Amino acid sequence: MLPAGPVIAAARVIWDVSEQGQALLAVLFPHLAGLRVHRVEDTGDAVMIIASCRAEAACCPRCGQESARVHGGYARMVADGAAGGRPVLIVLQVRRFRCRNPVCPAVTFAEQADGVSARYRRRSVPLLAMLAGFGLEAAGRAAARLAGTLGIAVHPATVLRLVAAAPEPEITAAPEVLGVDDFALAKGQVYGTVLVDMRTGDVVDLLPDREATTLEAWLKAHPGTGIICRDRAGNYAEGARAGAPDAIQVADRWHLWHNLAEYAEKTVAAHRGCLKDQPGGDAGSGTGAPGPADTPEQEPPGQAEGGQIPPDGYLDACGRERRLVTRTRERYAEIHGRLEAGESLSAISRATGLDRKTVQRFARAGSAGELLGKATSRESKLDQFTPYLHQRWNEGVTDAAALHAELRERGWTGSEQTVRRYVRPFRQALAAPDPAPAVPKTRQITRWLLTHPDRLQPDEQAQLQAIRARCPHIDALTRHVTAFAEMMTARTGSRDLEAWLAAVEADDRAGLRSFTVGIRNDMQAVTNGLTLHWNSGKVEGTVNKIKMIKRQMYGRAGFDLLRKRVILHPALPDHKTRGRTNYCVRGGLGHRSWCCITESVIHHRSKLTRQGSAGPEFRRREEVAVPGRPTSRHVTCGNEEDGEPGWSRVPGAGPW
């Protein structure tokens, strides 16, 4: 379409096109090879190509019969791709033919230039394909801006219509190896399902929900799946069993390791109090300014406060039970009493005003102490100030309010009640004892016991050994985690999983009973996941791509448009991933190496941790494709040169 405004006739330049010029135009514009170009006009704002079709006859679009009887003609303007940043307009001298079929409803029809024009289209076929490609990659507004920089004027809605009209590949049968996972349409509210061909990485289909019946119906409509890679969601397990009963289900190893890491973190948090050797009570609740119930009482000067406060964080500075402890016990008793009365979780949530997930957490807890473990033994904001408190106390500053004021000047943002609770035991002695060594944070201890021992620094190994010596629960947990990691990386699940489950079920200290129950409920899929080389790595990568596509559309696109963009978005070919650089580390016995994929990003407890931190012990090597094994950029668990197990290192999340 010509730009708005008058066209100055004096600026128009016209060239007649010779046979040699037509050959040159066919090289620059291959889609014009079937046209006879008469002349080219430069209007200053656009380039106009006047052409006509070479064919002497055309076929009727209704009945398909060829006709050479010309009824009339007209000029038709078709926008083409820009040249030199200026619009190119093709002015077609179109003929109308009379249909010679007497029974055809069409009396006359217009000819179409193959590869250039289409019915009811004001843009050329190559330009429409280009705009649709822009829309698939960048969505509507970004695609329109990109086209504008090339000299092509288009509205974002037009780009989205072209994407929606793009044809989809026909699904005749399900792939032999199918990956299944969920993705968020509206996080926390609406979820869909993505199906991926695990051999090629291409998205097969998107389903509007994650219900078992939806997956079952799809599998029945598209038979042929032999292996289904999935996470540990029960809906997918049920749908796969009903829709493809003969298929082998494989539980993803990363999800197994991630679940184990979550249970390990809970156990460490519950027993971190065993590692504390502080002279005062717990200082773990200083989270802000004191409320009405936290207002400290005045201490008579020179009067020693009696009664030793146990260092478990259950009592406040006045020796009374903390409000958190009392409230937790009352809620635990109320919720379990309602459960015994036959009320549902939703009914309890409405009656108590608590979120349903909170009610569920209380219902699953075996005791109130289990719920209080993490709250009363967590890290404290006061930990970094305790050496200064000990120093000032021994220098004669024994007033809690004065100490609190000094800490405020040093950046302390907690309450005076926390400081008062910490220094209370000091009044029983002549001087404050030396501050106890800082207890590592829960995440730090969890990372140590989830990391291969050969990957830990000597001081980290020493601290972990000291922690295991002081807490039998963490010691038992470390032994079980190590055994599971060796089984997972060596993929010996069919041989060792049952023995590992029996050992954990016989040990009450590790806190992994619920984890073993979940494995028992999905035993065969977990065994396959710990034995076969298949995993859900390509599916997880596709979910990340879906997140990127959703963000491009600012979350306002419907499911149909999202499905179209995801399905037609090309996957990265295998030959483009084999040359990617990874990092491997030598260590341990023999020439054992552990692969560490550099570009994979995992989500651990709402914290993104990027893999592949290349320390001084890492060396670069090119990824080598192993015959018979698919190339995966998400999970590589073991299979070392000497056949011994190895743990892949993920900084902050353990050996995965």
pLDDT of residue 419: 84
Least confident of 76-80, 243-247, 627-631: 627-631
The residue among 204, 226, 198, 257 whose CA lies nearest residue 631 is 198
- Confidence band (pLDDT; 50, 70, 90) for 24? confident
Q: Is the pLDDT of residue 10 over 70?
A: no
Give residue 429's Cα distance to chain centre: 54
DSSP single-letter state for residue 2: P
- Confidence band (pLDDT; 50, 70, 90) for 606? very low
- Confidence band (pLDDT; 50, 70, 90) for 641? very low
Q: Is the pLDDT of residue 484 over 90?
A: yes
Q: What is the pLDDT of residues 497-507, one digit of tens each?
A: 999 999 998 88
Q: What is the pLDDT of residues 375-385, one digit of tens each?
A: 556 666 777 78
Sign of the C-alpha dihedral computed for residues 610, 616, 622 and 625 taken in this order? negative
pLDDT of residue 376: 59
Q: Is the pLDDT of residue 633 over 80?
A: no
Q: What is the mean pLDDT of residues 91-100?
A: 89
Q: What is the pLDDT of residues 405-446, one digit of tens each?
A: 888 888 888 888 888 877 877 777 777 777 666 778 888 889
> What does the alpha-carbon distance between residue 133 and residue 125 come to, in Å, rounded to a whole number?
12
pLDDT of residue 614: 33
Where do the domains of the chain lie? 9-165, 177-251+537-568, 277-290+307-428, 574-655
Which tokens hold the place of 241?
Answer: 């069993």
Alpha helices in 166-312 (DSSP H): 212-221, 234-243, 253-271
- Confidence band (pLDDT; 50, 70, 90) for 219? very high
Q: Which residue has the higher pLDDT, 281 or 215?
A: 215
Q: What is the mean pLDDT of residues 647-655?
A: 39
The CATH superfamily assigned to 177-251+537-568 is: Ribonuclease H-like superfamily/Ribonuclease H (3.30.420.10)
Asked if 532 and 514 count as a contact pair (C-beta separation under 8 A), the reply is no
Q: What is the pLDDT of residues 552-567, one digit of tens each?
A: 887 677 888 888 888 8
pLDDT of residue 37: 84
Q: What is the pLDDT of residues 276-334, one digit of tens each?
A: 654 444 433 333 333 333 333 333 333 333 333 343 556 655 566 677 788 888 888 99
Q: Which residue has the higher pLDDT, 260 or 188?
A: 260
User: What is the pTM for the complete model shown?
Assistant: 0.67
pLDDT of residue 315: 62
Q: What string of DSSP letters covers 442-490? A: HHHHHHHHHS-GGGS-HHHHHHHHHHHHH-HHHHHHHHHHHHHHHHHHH
Angle between helices 156-165 and 125-149 (to 10 degrees): 140
DSSP single-letter state for residue 572: P
- Confidence band (pLDDT; 50, 70, 90) for 508? confident
Instruction: Report the SS3 class of residue 500.
Output: helix
Highest mean pLDDT among 28-37, 580-589, 617-626: 28-37
pLDDT of residue 316: 56
pLDDT of residue 483: 92
pLDDT of residue 572: 57
> How far apart are the two ends of the chain, measured CA to CA in Å?
57
Which tokens hold the place of 342?
Answer: 């036959």
Instruction: Report the SS3 class of residue 619.
Output: strand
> What does the alpha-carbon distance between residue 385 and residue 8 come to, in Å, rounded to a whole number?
79
The residue among 288, 285, 292, 280 whose CA lies nearest residue 408 is 288
